[in-house]
Chain A
Amino acid sequence: MTSYVIRGANILGESTNDITIEDGVITGIGTGLTADESIDATGLVALPGLVDLHTHVREPGREDAETVLSGSRAAARGGFTCVHAMANTDPVADTAGVVEQVWRLGREGGYCDVQPVGAVTIGLGGSRLAELGAMADSAAGVRVFSDDGKCVSDAVIMRRALEYVKAFDGVIAQHAQEPRLTEGAQMNEGPLSGELGLTGWPAVAEEAIIARDVLLAEHVGSRLHVCHLSTRGSVEIIRWAKGRGIDVTAEVTPHHLLLSDDLVRSYDPIYKVNPPLRSNDDVAAVREGLADGTIDIVATDHAPHPMEDKECEWSAAAFGMLGLETALSVVQQTMVDTGLLTWAQVADKMSIKPAEIGRVRNQGRPIEVGEPANIVLIDPAATRIIDARDTASLSRNNPYAGLTLPGEIVATLLRGRPTVLGRALVEGVTV
């Protein structure tokens, strides 16, 4: 295997050094190091390969929107070396067979590790637990369980799931959405939903479930993860729960860090997402929450949809937006360039913590000698105008199209092999 030296990288934005890599492992950090090939990293920030806890790859079932391979390639372009594939495929990832298929497709693709998420309930139906233990014991080694796209709204099912996964150190990742309060919901409920005549998705529908679930997690002594929280009230509940010592973690998406509900005024479904874009005050609150550690991680909720599901009336359109290839740029713009986070903290929130929550052992490791060589090199001085067609995804539902965002991924290395090099995807990556 080719050995590499990364020359002059600004590691975590803290110190400039060379990094050598051999056989997939970091073998040296220092100055004047040599290897078979060298990668010039002058002016580039080196972070551990990013880990996404919330990706939709659509395979099996909707391979027209995204496959495990195309999603992996998009992930690599975004600086990710590991993604968690959500369970709401068709068939649903609620058996060992489906999660092993997804896991195997990820390995064959070779662009990043694909860690399947198992469904909590059979068919995401919310009423009967899926065979969580079988998925945990499978080759895929599932540790994160979620009905994402749907809420585990039945309090008893949620309690049992939280309890049951303790046996194999699993975590329930809840999509917090009280179903009755959000029937037919189309956008954030507020002055604008009333004006636009679109059915509101009230903040309380998210907050009420989070409040219930942190209390359940406390009661049964379990680990809870809250997906894509989006409101000020949710941040306050998580802050309160952590203050009480409840074992809860939470994620925010890049789009909830940057975009707000006034974009819905266009009725362009490119901005339709679940949970919906919220108010500017909510955007400020999730940024504060991420900065002060209340929110543990950034997760993309990358949700590809074919063109026809977005080129239509708002109410007829699908929920979701792409995120893998723009996540780090959005975080740089909203959190780093604003002084709210250092690059070291970005590494914590986009690599180390998500791997910890997902119990992925060889990802989210520090850049140190002896650690796996999962590394992303970022050019923070670059700016790019986002072009929806410039993507490795099979879909184009990119809400940032036309915006100028900072930062560009120059290289991504997965266990010492470049998946992205010279700002471009490496073709023909083999395991």
Chain B
Amino acid sequence: MTFQHLLSAGDLDRTDAIRILDTAEELLGVASRPIKKLPTLRGRTVVNLFFEDSTRTRISFEAAAKRLSADVINFSAKGSSVSKGESLKDTALTLQAMGADAVVIRHQHSGAPHRLANAKWTNGAVINAGDGTHEHPTQALLDAFTMRRHLGDIEGKNITIVGDVLHSRVARSNALLLDTLGAHVTLVAPPTLLPVGIEKWPVETSYDLDTSLEKADAVMMLRVQQERMNAAFFPSAREYSRRYGLDTPRLNRLPDHAIVMHPGPMNRGMEITADVADHVRSVIVEQVTNGVAVRMAVLYLLLGGAAGDTETTDRDSANEGRA
């Protein structure tokens, strides 16, 4: 791999991204075996460092690490020394002293994983599991993986991402990764929820959902956080839902092959109706399944070895495959 950490989806060039997706494809098979475990990362320690509640992402990383036989330490800010005021630096030094080979970090502040990786507080590989309103690269990878399984090669596909782009780490990582993979991305949002300077992003933007649906191969709905509802980004939840929510009439405007995605957790009735969420064209549950395979691939490639040898199981080579 050409990277030591996974901090941003922008760190990945096309070769790296495809390699992760191909590796995930091989590893997905493990999940369907009776014994869902590979010995690849035996003896390696993966720390899940979660400063922000996210049960879904944490258990996904935990399952991924355990299926590769890594030792997993879950470190959540609640009930830990962090809630007593310990700094990120001291937490990192503690993890370093315990010999963490990889740190999976979720943090409420944008850039915290960059600080962890670049301030030399830890030698381990740092994997960004979502930082503030910045990025969530493994979510983008699992989204791309899910798209590829349904739509084939992502090159040239039209992907429409709808909602609170301003505060969405999912949107940022998806815009970067999908551009790397050659997709055409359209971000749809009310003007208040698009960041200043978005014209420099490798995407098109639209304020109108209806006109953005006809050519979409996939439509991804973003969660609208409760705290945005009363901050004048839009007049009311009902108006948002009418203008930017995905309901059955809008679903019917999509091409027949198009899929519906959501990074979860959903606000049913807000950005997506229950009927659409549970529709046969919704791949939302599958995204969760794929999340484990993609995170296995990332851990495997950062810590274990090269792609294509997931069958040669019992390897213990620490830095092989790390360029």
Contacts and interface: CB of A to CB of B under 8 A. Distances in A.
Interface of A: 186, 189-200, 202, 266-268, 308, 311-316
B109 A314 contact: yes
B182 interface: no
A195 B172 contact: yes
Contacts, number: 79
B111 A198 contact: yes
Interface in B145-198: 166, 169, 172, 195-198
B125 to A, nearest CB: 18
Interface of B: 87-89, 107, 109-112, 114-115, 118-119, 131-135, 166, 169, 172, 195-198, 200-201
Residue of B110, B114, B118 with most chain A CB atoms under a 10 A cut-off = B110
B110 A315 contact: yes
Nearest to A267: B111
Contacts of B172: 195, 197
Nearest to B131: A197
Contact of A194 (B112, B132, B196): B196
Given A308-B87, A312-B89, A313-B107, A194 B115 contact: no
Contact of B89 (A189, A192, A267, A311): A311
Contacts of A266: 114, 118
Nearest to A313: B109
A263 B196 CA distance: 19
Contact of B115 (A189, A191, A267): A267
B196 A189 contact: yes
A198 B110 contact: yes
A313 B115 contact: yes
Given A197-B132, A267-B115, A315 B109 contact: yes
A191 B199 CA distance: 8
Residue of A196, A308, A313 with most chain B CB atoms under a 10 A cut-off = A313
Contact of A316 (B109, B114, B133, B169): B109
23 contacts: A191-B197, A191-B198, A193-B196, A194-B198, A195-B197, A197-B110, A197-B135, A197-B172, A200-B195, A266-B114, A268-B119, A308-B87, A311-B119, A312-B87, A312-B89, A313-B109, A313-B111, A313-B112, A314-B110, A315-B111, A315-B132, A316-B88, A316-B109
Given A192-B197, A197-B133, A312-B88, 10 more contacts: A186-B110, A189-B196, A195-B200, A198-B133, A198-B134, A199-B133, A267-B110, A313-B88, A315-B109, A315-B110
Given A190-B197, A311-B119, A196 B88 contact: no
A196 B8 CA distance: 10
Contacts of A193: 195-197
Contacts of A200: 195-196
A197 to B, nearest CB: 3
Nearest to B134: A197
Nearest to B89: A311
A190 B169 CA distance: 17
A311 B115 CA distance: 9
Contacts of A312: 87-89, 115
Contacts of B198: 191, 194
A194 B133 CA distance: 9
